[in-house]
Chains A and B, each alone.
Chain A
Amino acid sequence: MSEFEKLKIVTKYELLKQFRRRRFYGALVLTLLAVILIIALYKGLDIPGKLSPLISDSPELFALFVTSAGATIPIFAAVFFAGDSIASEFEHKTGYILFPNPVKRSTFVVGKYIACLTVTSLIVIFAYVATVIALVGIYQQLPIEVFGSLALALVYANSVLGIAFLYSSALKGSMGATIATLLTIMLVFSVIEVSLIFANIDPWFMHGYAGDSIASVYGVPFAAAFGGGMPGGMERNPDPTTSFFVMLGYFIVPFILSIWLAKRREML
């Protein structure tokens, strides 16, 4: 049997595992509640009215507001599913049953990654479907940029998965891996990015900045929309194409490291 056949089997059963867990359905419910809350705040607080006359209400502004405020959804979804993917095999000793099989460790890691990517993508797509329904319901319009934003959100979620897999392969516990991923993305990367901005260095290569392309793809200027320019007069307007490759890099490098670490890791 080829390694590809084994990969298909690993992925299938990893998916079964993910769909059996309550956390998948919990994540769907939380995502729906988050989107409803953001829409309610947008309308209830009359956000477009507050931004007027700099910018007027439009389907693009609505979509930008909902999807950018919900940009944390890919982070939490990816961390939710990937944090324990490798670490738990060692922590909960399930690796004693799984690893003494004639399957390469890298095949297990890739299979687990595909399953995590699938469930994470489903959560992100679900958030966008809710946004699209709201857009059509409120504006009877669907800006084409929503699909570009969705594509970038999926790439962003993928980059978070790469980082989560790295920590999951390197750290002893699932909880530690989950917290380390969140701290890296939401604190360490943010601190570096802000420091770069204050040093007048364009942070196009930073994870969070690239992630902002999820919103910038709508073509609504950030500074106009949220009154927040950057020091030195820089526009916070990440280029979607550049950001796509940056996020891909944030996936590829940690994920390759994750495979290397998982292969070397011992079942102590």
Chain B
Amino acid sequence: MRESIVIEGLSKYYDSFLALDNLSLKVKKNEDVALLGPNGAGKTTALKLLCGLLHPSSGTAYINGVNVMEERERAISMVGTMLETPEFYPFLTPVETLSYLGRLRGMSGQGLKSRIEEVIKLVRLEGWAKVRIGKFSRGMKQRLALAQTLLHDPPILILDEPALGLDPRGMMEVREILKKAKKKKTVFLASHLITEVVQVCDKVALIDHGHLLVYDSIPRLKRKYRTSLEGVYLKLTEAAI
């Protein structure tokens, strides 16, 4: 299987509002693709459809060849996800939360325990591992969300604005983690932060008002439009308004 993610004619209406219009794209194994676009472009809708959290109005999607709409559980077993601003049960600690999510994914015993320690260290929450999440700031929850995404070492990461809510140091740390992770994984990331996209991804799918405007590698886009990625973004999204 060469493609990790295949999206075929995916559309989504919220009542009469068309949030995503016939989106089709393929993400090859170990490719790192950003879904770039302004607020309300349809990025989060696309990711939610891909994770089976929304029902498409039409179209379908595959993860590692498994149809998400027909076999959701099998499809997302290969994925680590981080969607919207994550929230956790405030009564549990990070260790308990990760233990819960890890067990749901078939992890157990010493293997799970040491992996929890590893990911908690990776996102720098060591001092907070046994503190109830109710006391956490938004940035700390974002770090924990990243930890749960990486917990089961999935081959595919689906991330929605992974650095949202983090301070500059936190943003830098998250990007470093993703840069390391992308060497062995397929990353499909939604963002409107061009700096983040340039640092983490090789290819960009630019969408606006639910339409796919362009899908290509960053160097090719720069060459084609003879400008920076920011220039490409401004040129194409302005044209779409």
Contacts and interface: CB of A to CB of B under 8 A. Distances in A.
Contact of A266 (B55, B76, B97): B55
Interface string A13-31: 1001100110000000000
B83 A17 contact: no
Contact of B83 (A20, A96, A264): A96
Contacts of A16: 91-92, 96
Interface string A84-114: 0000000011111101111110000000000
Interface residues of B, number: 33
Contact of A9 (B52, B100, B148): B100
Given A103-B73, A266-B53, A1 B106 contact: yes
A97 B101 contact: yes
A6 interface: yes
Main secondary structure of the interface of A (DSSP, over half): loop
A100 B76 contact: yes
Nearest to B84: A96
A205 to B, nearest CB: 36
B53 A267 contact: yes
B54 A17 contact: no
A100 B81 contact: yes
Q: Which 7 A-B pairs have the closest CB atoms?
A: A20-B91, A102-B77, A267-B53, A100-B81, A102-B73, A93-B87, A13-B100
Interface string B74-89: 1011010101111111
A10 interface: yes
A268 interface: yes
B13 to A, nearest CB: 12
Interface residues of A, number: 25
Interface string B88-132: 110110001100110111100000000000000000000000001
A94 B54 CA distance: 15
A92 B141 CA distance: 13
Given A16-B92, A100-B53, A94 B87 contact: yes
A101 B53 contact: no
Contacts of B46: none
Given A102-B74, A102-B76, A94 B89 contact: yes
B163 interface: no
B51 interface: yes
Nearest to A1: B106
A93 B84 contact: yes
A97 B54 contact: no
